[in-house]
Structure 1
C-alpha cells in the first residue's frame, strides 16, 4: 500500500503541469515574479551629479541618455536592450576506417635425432611429421559513420540588465511568451555581455553573449501530445532491452 500511495503521489505531482491547462489555455508566467521586474524596481541609487553636470541637463548638447545626441545604450541595472538571434549553422562529419591484419607461423622438424622418421613409419601412409606445426590467422575490420546537422533560427527579444558585475560586465535576462489558441510559445535568453559590444541601436547579437542560454519551445496541448507519457519515459530508462 505504501508503494501504491507513493507511486500515485509521484504521478500526481508530475501531472500538475498538464492539469494546469486542461480545458483552457496555459497561463502566462506572472510578471511580478520575473527577475526583470525586480531589476527594474531596484535599479540602484543613482550617483549624485556634480554641479557642472547639473547645469548641462538643460543644454541641447549634453551627453546624457535623454539628450538629442546622447548614448541611449543600456548601461545600468533595469535598462532594456534588444537581443538579435540569427542562427544559421550546418555541420557535416564523415569518418571511415579500414583495417586488416594477417599472420602465419610454420614449424618443421624433419630431423630431430631420428624421432620424426621413426614416427613416420608407424603412422598412416601419406602422413608425415615433417611439418609438425602450421599456424595461420587473419582479421579484418571496417567501419564508417556520418553526422549531418542543420539549424536555422531568427528571433529578436528584449532583455533586461539584471545585474552589473564589479568588472563592468552586464548580466542580462529576457523572457517572451506568445499564446496562440491553446499553445504557449516561450523564448528565454540569458548571459553576460560587455557594454562596448552593444551597438548604437541598443542591440547585441547572440554570438557576443558569454554563457548564453537560449531556449525556444512551448507548452500546451500540442506539446503534451508530442511528449511520451511519464510511464513510457520511466520504462525507457529502467528496461535493459
Structure 2
C-alpha cells in the first residue's frame, strides 16, 4: 500500500468516527416513557395508574336499653254516725257506718339488647379514574371470583390522598375518603344460608 492510499484510509476512518460521534443516540432517548424512574417511586399519581387497596373493615356495635315504670294510687274514706234519744216513755237509737277503700297499681317493664360483630379482610387492585384539582385521586375497582359454582364480587370506590399511599403502592381502606365497599355473593351455598323470597316477603308484610 502506497503512502497516498494509506493516507486516504486514515482520513476515511477519521470521518466515520466523527460521524458516529456526532449522531450517537442518548441513553435517555431510548428510555421507555412508561418505565420506572431512577429517583422516583412507582406510587399511583396519574389517571390509569394502579393502586393496591387492603380492605380491613370491622364493625362492632353493642346497644342495651332497659326501661322500668311504675305508678301506685291509693284512696280511702270512712264515715261513722251514731245517735241516741231517750225519754220518759220512749227511746230511739241510730248508727251508721260507711267505709270506702280504693287502690290502683300500674307498672311497665321493657328491655332490648342488640349486638353485631362483623369483619371483612381482603385486598384488590383499583384504577385511578380521575385526579381532582387538589391532587387527590378518585379510584375504582372490582373483582369477581367464581369457585365451585359460588360467586363472590367485591367492589371498592373512593378518594385517595397521595400522601397516604405507602411505598409499595398500597393503601389501607381506613385511609380512603368517601369509601364505598360492596361485597356480594351468590351460588349454591348462598341459597342454603340466606332466607328465601317467601320468608323475606312475609317479614315485610307481617305487621306484628
Report the counterpart of residue 186 of structure 2 in structure 1.
219
Report the counterpart of residue 82 of structure 1 in structure 2.
52
Determine the C-alpha separation between the residues in 2 that align with 1:95 and 1:240.
Answer: 23
TM-score of the superposed pair, with normalisation by structure 1: 0.57
* Greater strand proportion: 2
**How is 1:1-241 mapped onto 2 (pairs within 5 angstroms)?**
58=28, 66-107=36-77, 128-129=97-98, 131=99, 134-224=101-191, 226-227=193-194, 230=197, 233-234=200-201, 236-238=203-205, 240=207
* Greater helix proportion: 1
Larger Rg: 2
- The Cα shift of 1:225 comes to 5.4
Determine the C-alpha separation between the residues in 2 that align with 1:232 and 1:185.
Answer: 24
| Per-residue deviation, residues 105-157 of structure 1 (Å, max 9, x unmatched) | 345566xxxxx779xxxxxx99733x4x5432222222222222222221111
Determine the C-alpha separation between the residues in 2 that align with 1:215 and 1:159.
Answer: 14
Determine the C-alpha separation between the residues in 1 that align with 2:152 and 2:142.
Answer: 11
- SS in structure 1 at match of 2:97: coil
- The Cα shift of 1:222 comes to 4.0
Structure 1 pair 210/117, CA: closer, same or farther in 2 (3 Å)?
Answer: farther
Structure 1 pair 87/229, CA: closer, same or farther in 2 (3 Å)?
Answer: closer
| Per-residue deviation, residues 1-58 of structure 1 (Å, max 9, x unmatched) | xxxxxxxxxxxxxxxxxxxxxxxxxxxxxxxxxxxxxxxxxxxxxxxxxxxxxxxx94
Q: List alignment gaps of at least 5 residues for structure 2.
A: 1-26, 29-33, 84-93
Q: List alignment gaps of at least 5 residues for structure 1.
A: 1-56, 59-63, 111-115, 119-124
Bigger shift: 77-86 or 64-73?
64-73
Determine the C-alpha separation between the residues in 2 that align with 1:105 and 1:224.
Answer: 63
Structure 1 pair 239/143, CA: closer, same or farther in 2 (3 Å)?
Answer: closer
Structure 1 pair 109/208, CA: closer, same or farther in 2 (3 Å)?
Answer: farther
Give me the CA root mean square deviation. 3.3
TM-score of the superposed pair, with normalisation by structure 2: 0.65
